């Protein structure tokens, strides 16, 4: 299975800086052996779609897939500020993050709500990247397994036989943006747990990519990506620096 390296730009960027970043990434990408995606702020989806399409016309090097950072669970209607999966699809969106810990924390997203978003994305052929992860307090209380299993269980329950179509991202909250990465062993332990949970739902659990996210960078990516159950990375800060992002991509083989 090809690994997936996805950048999560979060609420960063501008028309000018997006273009510069993307061009630098594309220029350095060559024939990447892994899949690459960027999850951009919604207002920039059209811009990035255009830049990716222009590059694809050149026909050289690997292509970067487009991702959104959220998607509505609703199909359409009176939901001010929301964006449906069908709308994202019109902009060539291939992936949508759902349940990122920042949205769980700041926007009150629940396990059931996140599962509904994953289902809505799948219904439009968009691959949801389901984010799970424990806080520092939960880890210290020995609740890591309980928390991530509960978060994933909601999605398994909602998505049923489509579960092999999702991507999971394990992002320990205490490692996000803190420079404190989980050790490869800590990450692998949780990834193996998640894999076992998927196995209970499908015999094709190996088809589901489980990404690690949380201060993954150019220096630590290779070791993390060498773990048997780490199938890629979800990169925040380091995805905003072309060279760092490229180094991580090169480590994913």
Angle at 101 between CA 184 and CA 116, to 5 degrees: 115
> Would you say 74 and 120 are in contact if contact means Cβ atoms under 8 Å apart?
yes
* Residue 82 a catalytic site member: no
Per rule CB under 6 A, is residue 236 in the interface with ligand 13P? yes
Q: Which stretch binds ligand 13P (CB under 6 A): 41-49, 85-93, 112-120, 231-239?
A: 231-239
- For ligand 13P, the binding residue among 13, 67, 128, 214 (CB under 6 A) is 214
Binding mask 22-61 for ligand 13P (x = CB under 6 A): ----------------------------------------
Report how many residues bind ligand 13P under the rule CB under 6 A: 14
The secondary structure of 178-193 as a DSSP string is TS-PPPHHHHHHHHHH
Per rule CB under 6 A, is residue 8 in the interface with ligand 13P? yes
- Classify burial at 77, counting beta carbons within 10 Å of its beta carbon; exposed 0-12, middle 13-18, buried 19 or more: exposed
**Residue 197 beta carbon to ligand 13P: minimum distance, rounded to whole angstroms:** 21
Per rule CB under 6 A, is residue 144 in the interface with ligand 13P? no
Catalytic residue among 100, 109, 158, 191: 100
Report helix, strand or coil for 46: helix
Its sign, for the CA torsion 71, 108, 235, 40, is positive
What is the helix (H) or strand (E) element at residue 110, kind and residue range? none
Nearer to ligand 13P, 182 or 208 (CB): 182
Rounded to whole angstroms, how far apart are CA atoms 217 and 197? 28
* Residue 100 a catalytic site member: yes
**Residue 18 beta carbon to ligand 13P: minimum distance, rounded to whole angstroms:** 17
Judged by CB under 6 A, the chain residues 146 through 175 that form the site for ligand 13P are 171
CA distances from 197 to 38, 52, 249 (A): 27, 36, 28
Of 155, 157, 144, 236, the closest CA to residue 192 belongs to: 144
CA distances from 213 to 17, 172, 234, 248 (A): 23, 7, 5, 12
Nearer to ligand 13P, 118 or 201 (CB): 118
- For ligand 13P, the binding residue among 159, 176, 187, 242 (CB under 6 A) is 176
Catalytic residue among 35, 102, 138, 171: 171
**Residue 177 beta carbon to ligand 13P: minimum distance, rounded to whole angstroms:** 4
By the criterion CB under 6 A, which residues form the site for ligand 13P? 8, 100, 171, 176-177, 213-216, 234-238
State the catalytic residues.
100, 171
């Amino acid at each position: 299975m090809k690994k997936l390296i996805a950048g999560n730009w979060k609420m960063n960027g501008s028309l000018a800086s997006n273009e510069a970043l993307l061009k630098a990434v594309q220029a350095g990408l060559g024939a990447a052996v892994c899949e690459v995606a960027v999850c951009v702020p919604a207002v920039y989806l059209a811009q990035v779609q255009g830049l990716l399409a222009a590059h694809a016309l050149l026909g050289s090097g690997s292509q970067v897939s487009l991702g959104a950072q959220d998607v509505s669970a609703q199909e359409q209607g009176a939901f001010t500020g929301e964006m449906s999966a069908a709308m994202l699809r019109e902009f060539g969106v291939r992936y949508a993050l759902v349940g990122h810990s920042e949205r769980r924390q700041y926007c009150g997203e629940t396990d059931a709500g996140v599962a509904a978003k994953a289902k809505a994305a799948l219904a439009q052929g968009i691959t949801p990247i389901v984010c799970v992860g424990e806080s520092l307090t939960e880890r210290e209380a020995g609740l890591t397994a309980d928390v991530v299993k509960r978060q994933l269980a909601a999605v398994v329950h909602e998505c049923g036989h489509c579960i092999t179509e999702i991507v999971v991202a394990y992002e320990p909250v205490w490692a996000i943006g803190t420079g404190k990465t989980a050790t490869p062993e800590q990450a692998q332990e949780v990834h193996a747990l998640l894999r076992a949970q998927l196995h209970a739902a499908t015999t094709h659990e190996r088809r589901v990519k489980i990404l690690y996210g949380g201060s993954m960078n150019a220096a630590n990516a290779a070791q993390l990506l060498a773990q048997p159950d780490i199938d890629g990375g979800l990169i925040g800060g380091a995805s905003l620096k072309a060279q760092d992002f490229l180094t991580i991509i090169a480590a994913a083989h």
